[in-house]
Amino acid sequence: DGGITQSPKYLFRKEGQNVTLSCEQNLNHDAMYWYRQDPGQGLRLIYYSQIVNDFQKGDIAEGYSVSREKKESFPLTVTSAQKNPTAFYLCASSGQGADTQYFGPGTRLTVL
Amino acid sequence: RKEVEQDPGPFNVPEGATVAFNCTYSNSASQSFFWYRQDCRKEPKLLMSVYSSGNEDGRFTAQLNRASQYISLLIRDSKLSDSATYLCVVRQRSGGYQKVTFGTGTKLQVIP
C-alpha cells in the first residue's frame, strides 16, 4: 500500500527530554513537511524539505530539528528547547510541482 | 488580518439540509485552493480542489471568487457522515517554495 506512515501514534515524554517522531512515505514524493496542530488553531508549518539533504525552517521552527538523509524519511526531533511541545504533529508529502499535500495519521505528543 | 479566515462554527444542521461554508484569504497572489476534511483526532484528507470556474463532486460544490478573495463549499443533502471539520487551504508561490496556509477550520455537525 502506498502512503505516509507516522509512528508512534501516541507518545508521552517527560519535560526536558528530546523525542524523535518518525515519518516515512513510499509515494516517491520529493517534498515533505512537518506541521503542528493545537486545539482551535490551524496547522502551523515547522519544517519542510523539497529534496534530499535539504530542508528549510517553517513558521515555528524554534525548538525543533529535522533531517532528510533519504527521500522516504523525514524525522522530526522535538528538543527540550521547545517550550510547549504537547500537540498533534502531522507529516505530509507532495510530488514535484504538485499542489496537493497528503498527510500521515499523525503523532499525538504529550509532555508530562 | 489572518491569511486565511474561516468561521469556526459549529454549524449544526439536520440530515438532508444544505449547508455552505465560506473562507476568505488575504493574499491576492494566491494560486491554488483546496478544501480538506478532518475528522476528530485524525489527519486532514483532501476533499476537493477549487477551480476558477467552480467544480462539483457529487453532493459537494466548490467555488472561487478571486475578486472578493473567498472560496466556498456547498454540501447538499447532508449525511451524518459529513460531520467533521472542513479546512480551507490556500497555496501561493513564495520564492522557490509553495507556501501553503491552512485555515483553522469550520466544524460541521449533522444531526439525525
B77-108 pLDDT tens trace: 999 999 999 999 998 876 666 788 999 999 99
Mean pLDDT of chain A: 92
Distance CA A26, CA A24 (A): 7
Torsion from C-alpha of B47, A86, A5, A45, nearest 10 degrees: 60
In angstroms, the separation between the Cα of residue B35 and the nearest Cα of chain A is: 11
pLDDT score at B1: 72
Q: How confident is the model at residue A78 (pLDDT cuts 50, 70, 90)?
A: very high
* Identity of the residue in B42, B44, B104 whose CB atom sits nearest the CB atom of A41: B104
Distance CA A92, CA A82 (A): 21
Tell me the three cell numbers of residue B103: 485555515
Give B94's contacts (C-beta < 8 A, 6+ positions apart): none
- Minimum CA–CA partner of B5 in chain A: A42
pLDDT above 70 for A54? yes
| Cα A102 off chain centre by | 12
Element (H, E) at B12: strand B11-14
Distance CA B84, CA B13 (A): 12
Distances (CA, A) of A16 to A6, A48, B61: 23, 25, 48
Nearest to B89 by CA among B59, B50, B56, B58: B50
Structure confidence by residue, pLDDT tens digits, B20-61: 999 999 988 888 999 999 999 899 999 999 988 999 999 999
pLDDT score at B92: 83
pLDDT above 90 for A107? yes
Residue range A15-35: mean pLDDT, rounded: 94
